Amino acid sequence: MDEFIEKVKPVIEKVKKEGDKALIELTEKFDGVKISRIAVTEDEIEEAYERVDDELVDALELAKENIERFHYITMPDRDIRIDFGDMIMGKRYIPVERAGLYIPGGRASYPSTVLMSAVPANLAGVDEIVACTPPDAEGKIHPLTLVAMDICGVDEIYRVGGAQAIAAMAYGTETIKRVEKIAGPGNIYVTAAKLIVSKDVSIDMPAGPSEVMILADENADAETVALECLAQLEHDPMARAFVATTSKKIASEVEKRVRDVFPGGILEIKVFEKIGDAVEFANSIAPEHLVIITENHWQVFEKVRHAGSVFLGRYSPVAAGDYASGTNHILPTGGFARMYSGVSAETFMKSMTYQEISREGLEKLSTIISKLARAEGLEWHAKSVEERLK
């Protein structure tokens, strides 16, 4: 990652210094297209609806409903208030005012990523939602992506991608006002840019090339395991698939099936004596997606500590979570699932605690506070309590 961070640093600095001018120049350099306007207009959004099949619009709406349902139910309470009698304490969740979403694009369209980022942001109550996505060869945004952004309530759309988009959202330009939170997946350069700007703006997580791990015992169907590998490897040449199985037969069949389709794909298969050993291997990798196809998948799941999102059983493909079931597909990759979670409404919130203490409550605490404060050499901390009570 250090190599990519060094490559991205000049891009970040150029955007910070030159603003819109840098965005236009870098878009021509990296995307091969000269754009005359950075912001997407209402007319372009209206035109996009005319170019998208009604059935696709319906599919977006239905997927949005499922994602909203799951993220609404799992959203943290806005106000947790506990009355201890002589003390009232609590925690409030407050949305960020302005969030920036990075949506991969250019040669392909990823409306599902719009759903996965904009829906939680809206549920959280973000005031202004901004989206950046790379333009195509004609300097336009894919119509399906634009429709998804409109359906999900994105307020501002900009035709700029890569590290330069991350820099624009983090530091602002003449056209793009800076944000407080950046969320969304991208290539290795986007991930590097997010890590660089994270000292100045909050990010969701490092989310680079896609990956999957499948835990499979001897009862698993080899074709199902292979299909999960193929679904991940088709993302891009840097996508990775891992298989941890207790069956040499499954390992051999999956290897052949996958290599027939993607001979150069990044595929790693390991055979273990016990499924418990396979779980330990999975925890050491901390994969973005973990698929468990075993006889007792719930028992196996209990031993999982590190994964972005887990899919249990033969009929729970990663693609369901990618598009329609309701969970999120913006997940930590490259082992970052050890310390990061996937995107949710909470991603776009921050919390603050509060307290109201009665005189009687402070009297109970005063001796503790005074002793600890003076032990740390902080006399006025102690006096701030004692003088109140005189």
Pairing of strands 87-95, 79-83: antiparallel
**232 marked as binding residue:** yes
**CA R_g for the chain:** 25
Taking the CB of residue 66, how many other CB atoms lie within 10 A of it? Answer: 17
**297 marked as binding residue:** no
**381 marked as binding residue:** yes
**235 marked as binding residue:** yes
Which token pair is 289?
Answer: 């997606």
**260 marked as binding residue:** no
Return d(Cα 215, Cα 243) in angstroms, integer. 6
The answer to whether 201 and 177 are in contact (CB under 8 A) is no
**289 marked as binding residue:** yes
Taking the CB of residue 303, how many other CB atoms lie within 10 A of it? Answer: 13
The residues annotated with a catalytic role in the active site are 288-289
Read out DSSP for 111-142?
Answer: HHHHHHHHHHHHHHT-SEEEEE----TTS---
**306 marked as binding residue:** no
3-class SS letters over the chain = CHHHHHHHHHHHHHHHHHCHHHHHHHHHHHHCCCCCCCECCHHHHHHHHHHCCHHHHHHHHHHHHHHHHHHHHCCCCCEEEEECCCEEEEEEEEECCEEEEECCCCCCCCHHHHHHHHHHHHHHCCCEEEEECCCCCCCCCCHHHHHHHHHCCCCEEECCCHHHHHHHHHHCCCCCCCCCEEECCCCHHHHHHHHHHCCCCEECCCCCCCEEEEEECCCCCHHHHHHHHHHHHCCCCCCEEEEEECCHHHHHHHHHHHHHHCCCCEEEEEECCCHHHHHHHHHHHCCCEEEEECCCHHHHHCCCCCCCEEEECCCCCHHHHHHCCCCCCCCCCCCHHHCCCCCCHHHHEEEEEEEEECHHHHHHHHHHHHHHHHHCCCHHHHHHHHHHHC
**187 marked as binding residue:** yes
Binding site members for NAD(+): 102, 164, 187
Binding site members for Zn(2+): 232, 235, 322, 381
Binding site members: 102, 164, 187, 210, 232, 235, 289, 322, 376, 381
Binding site members for substrate: 210, 232, 235, 289, 322, 376, 381
